[in-house]
Chain A
Amino acid sequence: NAGVTQTPKFQVLKTGQSMTLQCAQDMNHEYMSWYRQDPGMGLRLIHYSVGAGITDQGEVPNGYNVSRSTTEDFPLRLLSAAPSQTSVYFCASSPDRSGQPQHFGDGTRLSIL
């Protein structure tokens, strides 16, 4: 049972480039989310999904897009990377949106030059 899998683990981009961070879970969880973690800021919610075909914005959505075509996958897209998006990105999932704890992947470290 792999849990939540994120790829790639590391990535360096130039300003203005686009890329997609991948997230997959094998627990049949309905709820999936993306967070960014910055020093002294804790984890902040970017986007979330309560099921296939349903997504919504979190606390810091600007500059990011998401889609959810299957229960298992929830990719995060950076449309035009900016240095302010340098961060560690975590994907998480939980069985539903009842508020129960979420389970995290090991993150993608992203540097924007």
Chain B
Amino acid sequence: QKEVEQDPGPLSVPEGAIVSLNCTYSNSAFQYFMWYRQYSRKGPELLMYTYSSGNKEDGRFTAQVDKSSKYISLFIRDSQPSDSATYLCAMSPYNNNDMRFGAGTRLTVKP
């Protein structure tokens, strides 16, 4: 069993839809939870990060962490074609940069 599980998709939605991306994990030591966006032939770009449990909102993006269920989510409201990319979840323990990544979910937003 992988330490971080993420559905690879692909996921295709119409423009304006609400997108939900999810990851589950097994290591209870994880404290930092990140979402990266990766465009084709580019490096991962940090989109959101949270420390411990809770929600964080930034514009059209909301990140949620439920440590009791070992489950994290990223919601994208009013999705745009420019949101088409691969989304990677990542997490690491406190005071330790041993970051573990999900395999990534490929999202396409159709005009």
Contacts and interface: CB of A to CB of B under 8 A. Distances in A.
18 contacts: A42-B101, A42-B104, A45-B99, A97-B95, A99-B31, A99-B92, A99-B94, A99-B97, A99-B99, A100-B32, A101-B34, A101-B49, A102-B97, A104-B36, A104-B43, A105-B43, A106-B41, A107-B42
Nearest to B93: A99
Contacts of A94: 97
Given A45-B99, A101-B49, A104-B44, 17 more contacts: A42-B6, A42-B104, A43-B44, A43-B90, A43-B101, A97-B97, A98-B95, A98-B97, A99-B93, A99-B99, A101-B90, A102-B97, A103-B46, A104-B36, A104-B43, A106-B41, A107-B41
B96 interface: yes
Interface string B38-82: 000111111001000000000000000000000000000000000
Interface in A82-113: 90, 94, 97-107, 109
Contact of B88 (A33, A43, A48, A99): A43
A33 B44 CA distance: 14
B46 A101 contact: yes
Given A31-B97, A101-B49, A102-B99, A90 B43 contact: yes
Q: Tell me the dominant secondary structure on chain A's binding face.
A: strand
B54 to A, nearest CB: 16
A41 interface: yes
A53 interface: no
Interface of A: 4, 31, 33, 40-45, 48, 90, 94, 97-107, 109
Contacts of B34: 101
Contacts of A4: 43
B103 interface: yes
6 cross-chain pairs, A with B, having the tightest CB-CB distances, nearest first? A104-B43, A42-B101, A43-B101, A99-B92, A42-B103, A106-B43
A83 to B, nearest CB: 21
Given A97-B97, A98-B95, A99-B97, A106 B42 contact: yes
